[in-house]
Structure 1
Amino acid sequence: MSDDIAYPVFRTPDLALALSTARRLMDFGRCEDSEVSVYAEFNSVAEVQRVAKELPEGWFRGQEGYEEFNGVPWEDQPALVVGVQGPALPADLSAYEERLPVECELRNLPVGSIEDAFAVAIGPNPGEIHWDSLCWPDAPELGFHGESKHAEVTLLFNTRTRDLDVPADDHTVLVHVRKAGVDGRQMKEPYAHWLAEQVGLTVIGPWQPF
């Protein structure tokens, strides 16, 4: 059992530049089995409806109260709580009461299949594009073997945290490596620096946990 940690390596208010930079880093580790997932949160019904039109294939899910549906069969729970694709979202605005923020996600897709459309649709909302199943190469001069399990890249939109809980006016690229702490130090941090440097980037802040 192991976890990853992520280091910020680039930040800009320019969405197109953020996406192209994240792709450059992702391409450095891309392999045959690499995949991409996207996720966003929307705090208004208007934004949910707008994005559902732009990303009709997205799966949308609203919040549910604590133990709200205990004992309620799955088929009897509201569609918005169970999760539906864009065209099946309820038209009745009352269905969204107590359900915001609404989440939207698409998971485990081929690289290059969703990134551009998602970047166009995200607007001012917090979200992320996450590439995984990458393959980081060996860095023998640092004594590091290559990494695959935790070889990942994340592009955060309109936030600087992986929890998407702190709004920002810019976008941040993260490089992921395996978490390996000894006496409070992360032993893989030099590897994160090396990975960033291979594509002309540099670590610009402290690591973030999963």
Structure 2
Amino acid sequence: MSNDIAYPVFRTPDPVLALSVARRLMMFGSCEYTKVSLYAEIHSVAEVRRGVERLPEGWFRGQERDGECDVPFEDLPAWLVGVRWSGLPADPASYEGRLPVEYELLDQEVGSVEDVFTAAIGPSIGEINWQDLCWPDAPEVGFHGESKHAEVTLLLNTRTREYNELSDDHTVLVHVRSVDIDGRQVREPYAHWLARQVGLEVIGPGQRC
């Protein structure tokens, strides 16, 4: 079993610019199988109300409260399992202990959802992930191409794949296979090479998820 590691290659407070740069990198490795997936964490009732009708038609899920992990699946409120936006509760009190609301929309056609998601995310944490890319060979630096871990991610309002802190900017990541030998990522130069092909450069350490 192998894993990926993602390197930041661009950062800006402008979400539209960040999306444009991420697309440029994605197109370098795009192939017929490439899809895009969306994820978000919505941290307030106001943002849920503002954003749900503007986001693409994905699934929303509230958090389980303490002690609910042993509740039978069928007895949980439906929106803790996953509902469309119309199934979210209208009563603000229903969100107590349920935030952040998670949002997910998987395996969409490239170009079909990215713009509306970027416009709708507001101050919430979001992620656009293009997967199933095909990175080319880079013989001048000694690397064969790859597809299993060829991805591009745009992080919105956070700098980490763990979503563990808000930020006022947006970060583009390039993914490659993680190969750790004696604490050294031997495929990191491949990430640098990929970034350079579209006029970017690695600007920070790799991130695992």
Does the alignment reach a TM-score above 0.5?
A: yes
- Matching of residues 165-180 of structure 1 within 5 Å: 165-180=164-179
Structure 2 partner of 1:198: 197
Structure 2 partner of 1:26: 26
In the alignment, the residues of structure 2 paired with residue 56 and residue 170 of structure 1 have an alpha-carbon distance, to the nearest angstrom, of 22
Structure 2 partner of 1:6: 6
Structure 2 partner of 1:38: 38
Supply the AA of the counterpart residue of 2:28: F
* More deviation, 14-23/56-65: 56-65
Supply the AA of the counterpart residue of 1:144: F
Supply the AA of the counterpart residue of 2:113: I
TM-score norm. by structure 1 comes to 0.96
Structure 2 partner of 1:94: 93
SS at match of 2:104: strand
Task: Give the number of equivalent residue pairs.
Answer: 209
Segments ≥4 residues shifted beyond 2 Å: none
Structure 2 partner of 1:58: 58
Checking the alignment, whether the CA contact within 8 Å between 1:151 and 1:177 is kept in structure 2 is yes
- Matching of residues 15-164 of structure 1 within 5 Å: 15-55=15-55, 57-72=57-72, 74-164=73-163
Percentage of pairs with the same residue: 67
In the alignment, the residues of structure 2 paired with residue 114 and residue 145 of structure 1 have an alpha-carbon distance, to the nearest angstrom, of 31
Supply the AA of the counterpart residue of 2:94: A
SS at match of 1:65: coil
Supply the AA of the counterpart residue of 1:116: D
CA change 1:96–1:54 in 2 (3 A) is same
Supply the AA of the counterpart residue of 2:2: S
Give unmatched runs, 5+ long, in structure 1. Answer: none
In the alignment, the residues of structure 1 paired with residue 81 and residue 180 of structure 2 have an alpha-carbon distance, to the nearest angstrom, of 38
Checking the alignment, whether the CA contact within 8 Å between 1:69 and 1:77 is kept in structure 2 is no
In the alignment, the residues of structure 1 paired with residue 40 and residue 116 of structure 2 have an alpha-carbon distance, to the nearest angstrom, of 13
In the alignment, the residues of structure 2 paired with residue 34 and residue 90 of structure 1 have an alpha-carbon distance, to the nearest angstrom, of 35
SS at match of 2:167: coil
TM-score norm. by structure 2 comes to 0.97
Instruction: Note the C-alpha offset of 1:71.
Output: 4.4
Checking the alignment, whether the CA contact within 8 Å between 1:56 and 1:85 is kept in structure 2 is no
CA change 1:71–1:45 in 2 (3 A) is closer
Give unmatched runs, 5+ long, in structure 2. Answer: none
In the alignment, the residues of structure 2 paired with residue 88 and residue 2 of structure 1 have an alpha-carbon distance, to the nearest angstrom, of 38
CA change 1:69–1:185 in 2 (3 A) is closer
Instruction: Note the C-alpha offset of 1:68.
Output: 0.6
CA change 1:83–1:96 in 2 (3 A) is same
Deviation sequence 1:80-110 (CA, Å, 0-9, x none):
2111101121112222111001111101111
Supply the AA of the counterpart residue of 1:17: L
